[in-house]
Amino acid sequence: MNAILRDAYHITDPVYNYVKACEDKLQGLFLEHQRIREYNQLKVIRAFQENRLASYDFHSSSGYGYGEGGREKVDRIFAKVFGAQDALVRPGIASGTHALTLALQGILLPGDEMLCITGLPYDTMQKIIGLKGSVPHSLREYQIFYVQTDLVNGAPDLSCVLEKITPNTKLIYWQRSIGYTDRGTLSIECLQHAIKTLRAQTNIPIMVDNCYGEFTECLEPPEVGANLIAGSLIKNPGGGIARSGGYIAGDADLIERISYRVTTPGIGRDIGISFGTTREVLQGLYFAPHVTYEAMHTAILFASVYQGLGFSTTPMPHQERSDIVQMIRFGEPEAVCHFCEAVQQAGSVDSHITPVPWDMPGYSDEVIMASGGFVEGSSIEVSADGPLKPPYNVFYQGGLTADQGRLAVLLTVQRLLDQGLLDVSKF
């Protein structure tokens, strides 16, 4: 065992040997994901080259930003990478939820319905829709209505979806990642099947919440027929370098409508400077396929380690993955808190901080979050969080390097063992 692990982090031989044995058994699976990484890396490089990215594109303008070439080139590159007709990438988009909200508000009008076909969406989206409480400027306040169909056997119930469509249905919504649930992620293959089935009956636009899913597979949602996607640059596509921002990509007519919501009607995408972020956004995108692979490596290792310790994990180690999130069910709040404390200890930034549960904006329950990183709240860096409510699941994501991810695994196992929350006989 590395002397730093033993002396600085107090990892014991039984814990180290157990984690190493789990990782050794996963080498074939890691190789499969390396092939995905290579494909996506070449896709990104080719998008840069086809759009003739040049050093002068990194310069920012001021004021209105009319004709800022770098901003326009970023949009074209993202569109190419995601297989979309057009894209909007802006540093002022504060989160994935913000990007999704702009997209919904740009498309839907009073009296319209959005039909979510992947069950109840993520907590923060519930307030945007107006499902929880009376929140100003929710879709409900604007008389935009929400309809939902639940998953059956881990996939959308397409016959039920078709029954729910009415003349007022103007958007079909798909959440790719698991959110704070224990369902599996929805693969690109599953999405492709759903789109093919629905397209035989309707041309209603299909929007995908792409957060946490970028570069986890060789194809992105627009490449299999999705009309719109949205996500955050402080997750996968920012590669741990972009400081903020979000993207929306899809059909050109939808992007044009949304651009009038992002800025103002009649002007749209033609204003808004990049504030000098173009280089880091594109450099983050360059690293994104590799960084996403490192995060996937870590997630698979967490799944293997904790499944071997007797915990329920979603997905399981060898299950198909379409996002970077790994759920572990502990069944008790103490284990969730100790797990997050150990993940925080593994961080490069704020490793000395102890996370505590708190009333996080946008969530109904107290949430504990470990998120020490170079970019605050970045989910592509070593991070973990979970609501303190039964069945006490924790959600791990990220890891800029597999080495740091492995450290997080070791520290969590050691912490839970030291606290008497693991079966000693497993080691």
One-character DSSP codes across 162-186:
HHH--TTEEEEEEE-S--SSSSPPP
Task: Look at 28-37, 227-236, 364-373 and tell me which has the smallest mean pLDDT.
Answer: 364-373
* One domain for residues 34 and 86: no
Evaluate whether 403 touches 5 at the Cβ level (below 8 Å). Answer: no
Instruction: Give the pLDDT score at 159.
Output: 96
Residue recorded with tokens 């996968």: 236
In a domain? residue 17: yes
**How far apart are alpha carbons 152 and 30 in whole angstroms?**
30
CATH of the domain at 66: 3.40.640.10
Residue among 379, 381, 373, 378 nearest 348 (CA): 373
Using DSSP's 3-state secondary structure scheme, residue 210 falls into coil
Q: Kindly list the distances between the CA atom of residue 245 and the CA atoms of 91, 210, 217, 275, 298, in Å, as whole numbers in the listed order.
A: 4, 14, 22, 11, 25
* One domain for residues 84 and 122: yes
Residues with Cβ within 8 Å of 192's Cβ and at least 6 positions away in sequence, in order, are 224, 225
What b/e sequence results for 305-318 when a residue is b if at least 16 CB atoms lie within 10 Å of its CB, and e otherwise? bbbbbebebbbebe
Element (H, E) at 152: strand 151-152
For residue 160, the tally of other CB atoms under 10 A from its CB is 12
* One domain for residues 18 and 79: no
pLDDT digits (tens, 9 = 90+) for 329-351: 999 999 999 999 999 999 999 99
Instruction: Give the pLDDT score at 416.
Output: 97
* One domain for residues 261 and 135: yes
Of 242, 277, 312, the last residue of a domain is: 277
In a domain? residue 47: no
Of 277, 298, 326, the last residue of a domain is: 277
**How far apart are alpha carbons 269 and 259 in whole angstroms?**
5
**How far apart are alpha carbons 418 and 293 in whole angstroms?**
31
* One domain for residues 109 and 220: yes
Evaluate whether 229 touches 220 at the Cβ level (below 8 Å). Answer: yes
* One domain for residues 24 and 168: no
Residue recorded with tokens 């996939």: 155
Over residues 264-288, the mean pLDDT reads 95
pLDDT at 198 over 80: yes
In a domain? residue 49: no
Domain count across the chain:
2
pLDDT at 251 over 70: yes
CA angle 272/75/80 to nearest 5° reads 175
* One domain for residues 182 and 310: no
In a domain? residue 52: no
Evaluate whether 206 touches 226 at the Cβ level (below 8 Å). Answer: yes
In a domain? residue 375: yes
Instruction: Give helix then strand counts, H and E, for the chain.
Output: 12, 14
In a domain? residue 50: no
> What is the rounded radius of gyration, in angstroms, for the C-alpha atoms of the chain?
21
**How far apart are alpha carbons 293 and 220 in whole angstroms?**
15
pLDDT at 362 over 80: no
* One domain for residues 235 and 105: yes
CA angle 119/125/127 to nearest 5° reads 115
* One domain for residues 226 and 304: no
pLDDT at 50 over 80: yes
**What letter would DSSP give residue 265?**
T
Of 277, 298, 332, the last residue of a domain is: 277
- Report percent pLDDT > 90 for the chain: 89
* One domain for residues 109 and 246: yes
pLDDT digits (tens, 9 = 90+) for 211-246: 999 999 999 999 999 999 999 999 999 999 999 999
* One domain for residues 215 and 72: yes
CA angle 100/325/193 to nearest 5° reads 65
Instruction: Give the pLDDT score at 181.
Output: 84
- Residues 168, 169, 171, 176, CA torsion sign: positive
Average pLDDT, the chain: 95
pLDDT at 363 over 90: no
Instruction: Give the pLDDT score at 39.
Output: 98
CATH of the domain at 17: 3.90.1150.60
Task: Look at 221-225, 267-271, 369-373, 409-413 and tell me which has the smallest mean pLDDT.
Answer: 369-373
Instruction: Give the pLDDT score at 67.
Output: 81
Over residues 161-171, the mean pLDDT reads 97
**How far apart are alpha carbons 231 and 369 in whole angstroms?**
20
Residue 421: pLDDT band by 50, 70, 90 thresholds?
A: very high
Is the pTM of the predicted complex or chain greater than 0.85? yes
Residue among 231, 323, 240, 348 nearest 284 (CA): 240
**How far apart are alpha carbons 75 and 86 in whole angstroms?**
7
For residue 330, the Cα-to-chain-centroid distance in whole angstroms is 22
Range of the domain at 203: 59-277
Residue 83: pLDDT band by 50, 70, 90 thresholds?
A: very high
Q: Kindly list the distances between the CA atom of residue 300 and the CA atoms of 3, 11, 315, 327, 414, in Å, as whole numbers in the listed order.
A: 25, 21, 8, 11, 18
For residue 370, what are its two tokens?
A: 């470990």
* One domain for residues 35 and 158: no
pLDDT digits (tens, 9 = 90+) for 105-136: 999 999 999 999 999 998 889 999 998 777 89
Residue recorded with tokens 């994901």: 33
